[in-house]
Chains A and B, each alone.
Chain A
Amino acid sequence: MSAATRARRSVALVLAIAGVLAMVSLSRLRWRNPDAEAAELRLSWRIPAPSERSCRPPTEAELEGVLPHMRPSEVCTDEAIPYRLTVLLDGDTLRSGPVARAGGRIRAITVYERFVIAPGDHRITVGFAPETASAAEAVAMAMDADVAAAPGDVILVATDDTGRLGLSEGR
Chain B
Amino acid sequence: MLKRLLGPVLKRTDGWVDRLFGSKWNPLYQSGALVVLCLAVMLVTGLYLIFFYRIGAPYESIVRIEGQPWGGRWIRALHRYAADGAVVAAVVHALRMFCQGRSWGPRALAWISGVFLVFLLYVCGLTGYVMVWDTHGQLLATEGARLLDALPLFSEPISRTFAGADPIPSAFFFMNLFLHIAVPVGIVIFLWLHVSRVARPVLLPPRPLLWTTVGLLTGVALVVPAALGPGADLLRLPAEVTLDVFYTFWLPWTRSAAPGVVWLAAGVASAVAVAVPLLTRPQADRRPAPSFASTRLCTGCEQCYTDCPYDAIRMVDREGGREGKVALVNPAACVSCGICAGSCAPMGVGPPGRTGRDQLSRVKEFVQRQPDAGEDIVLVGCGRSAAAAWAGDHGRRFLVSCAGNLHTSVVEYLVRSGARGVLIVACPSRDCWGREGPKWLVERLFHEREAELKARVDRRRVRVAHASSFDRWSLGEAMDEFATELARLDAPVGDDAIEVETECDLAESSTPQDSPLPRPGHTSGP
Q: Which residues of A contact B (CB under 8 A)?
A: 5, 8-9, 11-13, 15-17, 20-21, 23-24, 26-33, 35-36, 39-40, 42, 44-46, 102-103, 106, 108, 110, 112, 151-154, 156, 158-159, 168-171
Given contacts A21-B220, A27-B246, A35-B255, contact A156 B235 (CB under 8 A): yes
Known: A21-B220, A42-B164, A156-B164. A110 touches B239 (CB 8 A): no
Partner of B159, one of A28, A112, A154: A112
Whether B371 sits at the interface, judged by CB under 8 Å, is no
How far apart are the CA atoms of A114 and B105 in the complex, in Å?
49
* Complex Cα spacing A170 to B163, Å: 9
- Known contacts being A8-B19, A36-B239, is A27 close to B165, with CB within 8 Å? no
Residues from chain B with Cβ under 8 Å of A8 in the complex: 19-20
Q: Which of B209-265 contact A (CB under 8 A)?
A: 212, 216-217, 220, 224, 226-227, 234-246, 251-252, 255
B21 contacts the other chain (CB 8 A) = yes
Q: Which residues of B contact A15 (CB under 8 A)?
A: 20
Known A-B contacts A8-B19, A28-B244, A108-B156; A35 and B237 likewise in contact (beta carbons under 8 Å)? yes
B239–A32 CB distance below 8 A: yes
A9 near B246: Cβ-Cβ < 8 Å: no
Which of B80, B160, B212, B244 sits near A29, CB closer than 8 Å?
B244
User: A159 vs B166: C-alpha distance in the bound complex, in angstroms?
Assistant: 11
Contact present for B22 and A170 (CB under 8 Å): no
Interface residue SS majority, chain A: mixed
B398 to A: closest C-beta gap in Å: 30
Interface residues of B (CB under 8 A from A): 17, 19-22, 27, 80-81, 84-85, 88, 139, 155-157, 159-160, 163-167, 212, 216-217, 220, 224, 226-227, 234-246, 251-252, 255
For residue B249, give the distance in angstroms from its CB to the closest CB of chain A. 9
Give me 25 A-to-B residue pairs in the complex whose CB atoms sit less than 8 angstroms apart, sorted by A's number: A9-B20, A12-B17, A16-B212, A17-B216, A21-B220, A23-B88, A27-B246, A29-B244, A30-B243, A31-B240, A31-B241, A31-B252, A33-B240, A35-B237, A44-B163, A44-B164, A44-B165, A102-B155, A102-B157, A112-B157, A112-B160, A151-B239, A152-B236, A153-B235, A156-B165
Q: Is the CB of A171 within 8 A of B167?
A: yes
Using Cβ atoms and an 8 Å threshold, which residues of chain B touch A112? 157, 159-160, 163
Contact A36 B252 (CB under 8 A): no
